[in-house]
Amino acid sequence: GAVVSQHPSWVICKSGTSVKIECRSLDFQATTMFWYRQFPKQSLMLMATSNEGSKATYEQGVEKDKFLINHASLTLSTLTVTSAHPEDSSFYICSARDKGRGNTEAFFGQGTRLTVV
């Protein structure tokens, strides 16, 4: 089955620094990828929709200057948390749809646990 690889799986960074999270579709092309964050005991909250070759579409309340998304190729989207603060600590997870299969299941990465100290 299709595989989405997310890296790193966990990261600890100092407050004020930036962290980049990568989401790769390993065996398919993904024109659209989605970025979510999840707080403990809560569901996944969609942050933004990442479109290859164009600007990401952010959900209401999500700061685009803080959460930078780049979707430079059909197999890679990156989320950069800039000037991270402890409240940014969360579980971030990406998903991607297979361009070749139309509206089928969305494949998820393993997630990244970010801790800002």
Partner 1 sequence: SQELEQSPQSLIVQEGKNLTINCTSSKTLYGLYWYKQKYGEGLIFLMMLQKGGEEKSHEKITAKLDEKKQQSSLHITASQPSHAGIYLCGAALGRAQKLVFGQGTRLTINP
User: Rule CB under 8 A: which residues touch partner 1?
Assistant: 6, 32, 34, 36, 38, 40-46, 49, 57, 91, 93, 95, 97, 103-111, 113
Which of 19/96 has CB closer to partner 1? 96
Q: Side-chain half-sphere of 52: how many Cα atoms within 13 Å?
A: 16
The answer to whether the beta carbons of residues 13 and 38 sit under 8 Å apart is no
Contacts of 82 (CB under 8 A, 6+ apart): 18, 65, 66, 67, 68
SS3 52: coil
Min separation Cβ 109 and partner 1, Å: 6
- What is the rounded distance in angstroms from the CA atom of residue 18 to the CA atom of residue 41? 26
| Identity of the residue, 19 or 94, whose beta carbon is nearer to partner 1 in the bound complex | 94
For partner 1, the closer CB: 44 or 68: 44
DSSP-derived letter for residue 103 is S
At its nearest, how many Å lie between partner 1 and the CB of residue 113?
Answer: 6
Residue 62: CB minimum distance to partner 1, A: 13
- Name the residue nearer to partner 1 (CB basis): 45 or 68: 45
Least distance in angstroms from the C-beta of 45 to partner 1: 8
